[in-house]
Amino acid sequence: MKVISYNLRKHRAAGELIHRVAEHDPDVLCLQEADTTDLPDRLGGLVLADATQRNRLGLAVYFRESTFRLQEVRAISLKKSLHDMVLKPAEERMLGVRLRDIDHNSELLVASFHAAPLTALNSLRRHQIRTALAELADLGPGLPTLMVGDYNYPVFKEKLGERVRDQGYELSLSDSRTYTRYRFFRGHYDFATSSGFTIADIRTLPQGLSDHLPILVTAQPDPARIAA
């Protein structure tokens, strides 16, 4: 299964999506910082599962209609940073979808995630990640789970990885940095958190109009974790 995650930088990179889908042929597309009122229902062979409704800059998930059937969607609000309280860019910071694989008659979870910005503390982002993963576990208990997105966590990633493992998940980074806008903040921002998946590869794709570079995750659900 191939999943692309892309922070559109206030929707500026939205015009690239059809090209990205055509070039890389993903099964799932997860977006952050999208104007959800200006997203198409379809992108190539992908159909919009859902998008957040209470965000100025929202999340969205598309999936391959010929491969999956949508079972359930859950958007959740997470603990707010001061930035969220004042500017209100994002009320809902995780959008999870439960999908059924048509050919294999099995289910899995994929989620788009956007942590609080760098003005917040890492402790707040860890709280948001922990809460998001707990919500996904409730949405599909025991199912293979993959949460991708903008974690806004450029330093102390090893400590974050330890916390994530304590919850039964693995944190995976792409092959090169995913954020380039500010010299002193360049690095890996866009991650994958998984449980019940074997991550074969995470590749950073070429930069477009966003300050974030998209990542392409190639993953295989663990057969022992698939629910029929």
pLDDT of residue 83: 54
pLDDT of residue 197: 97
pLDDT of residue 108: 97
| Intervals of the chain under pLDDT 70 | 80-90, 182-185, 225-228
Question: H or E stretch including 22?
Answer: helix 17-24
E strand intervals along the chain: 2-7, 28-34, 42-43, 46-51, 58-64, 68-77, 92-101, 106-114, 145-150, 170-172, 190-195, 197-204, 215-221
pLDDT of residue 204: 97
pLDDT of residue 42: 98
pLDDT of residue 226: 62
CATH number at 158 reads 3.60.10.10
pLDDT of residue 54: 82
Structural domain containing residue 221: 2-225
pLDDT of residue 91: 74
Which pair of tokens denotes residue 113? 């995630």
pLDDT of residue 157: 81
**pLDDT one-digit tens code per residue, 78-127:** 876 655 654 555 579 999 999 999 998 999 999 999 998 877 788 888 99
| Number of domain units in the chain | 1
